[in-house]
Amino acid sequence: MPYPVVHILFFVFCISAVAVYATIISIFHREASFEGSMRLMLLLLVGSLCALFPDIMVVYNLLVNGTIEYCRIGSVPTHSLLFSSSALLFGTLAGYMAYRKVGKAIYLGLFGEAAFFSHLLLDDACGADCTYFYPIYSERISLFPLMNINFQETGLLHYLITSFVSVSFVCFFIMMALFSLNKFGFEFKYRF
């Protein structure tokens, strides 16, 4: 599984690419402000912390037990969609404390959720199985090997459905991050 630095870099340069791009462009055009920089720093801080939430038990177990066991908090696996609610809650609370507006707080929570999902996707791509659907389905699932099927072995319909679901899963999280970033003023603009 990737190290924490890889999770943060993947989040910043892949999931938050729009915010990084918009900030760099505003710096080059000398339109950057201190307030805008603070908004970006808050987004990156909340997103980076949420991108590390699935591995939060590593720190605890390393300090308390001296091991690097990290897959569960009690009976809840940390690499699951159920545990991702912690990122949503953390992002929403941080957004409310920073902006005092419920709308912005919810969008920051969604951004934190997208960062959490980026961790799951990166771990999944590196071969770690995640228990995405716990408690509904407690077995480990890996999405990326599903994308590597051959339609001659499984049939064309199964191949198309699997491919669509796998790519839609990744696209959903990226679109969630883009939607949240748009609500904070970071966007690409189309020019004719």
- pLDDT of amino acid 97: 94
> Please, what's the b/e burial string for 36-57 (b: 16 or more CB within 10 A of its CB; e: otherwise)?
beebbebbbebbbbbbbbbbeb
pLDDT tens digits, 167-191? 887 788 888 888 888 888 777 665 5
Report helix angle 156-183 to 17-28, nearest 10.
40
**Domain spans, the chain:** 4-183
Nearest in space to 48 (alpha carbons), one of 114, 101, 122, 2: 114
Query: Binning pLDDT at 50, 70 and 90, where does residue 150 land?
Result: low
Give the residue-averaged pLDDT of 105-109.
93
Q: Are residues 78 and 72 in contact, defined by beta-carbon separation less than 8 angstroms?
A: yes
Q: Is 76 left (phi over 0), alpha (psi -120 to 50) or beta?
A: beta
pLDDT tops 90 at residue 90: yes
pLDDT tens digits, 21-73? 777 777 777 776 777 677 778 888 898 899 888 887 777 777 777 776 666 66
Under 8 Å CB-to-CB from 30, ≥6 apart: which residues? none
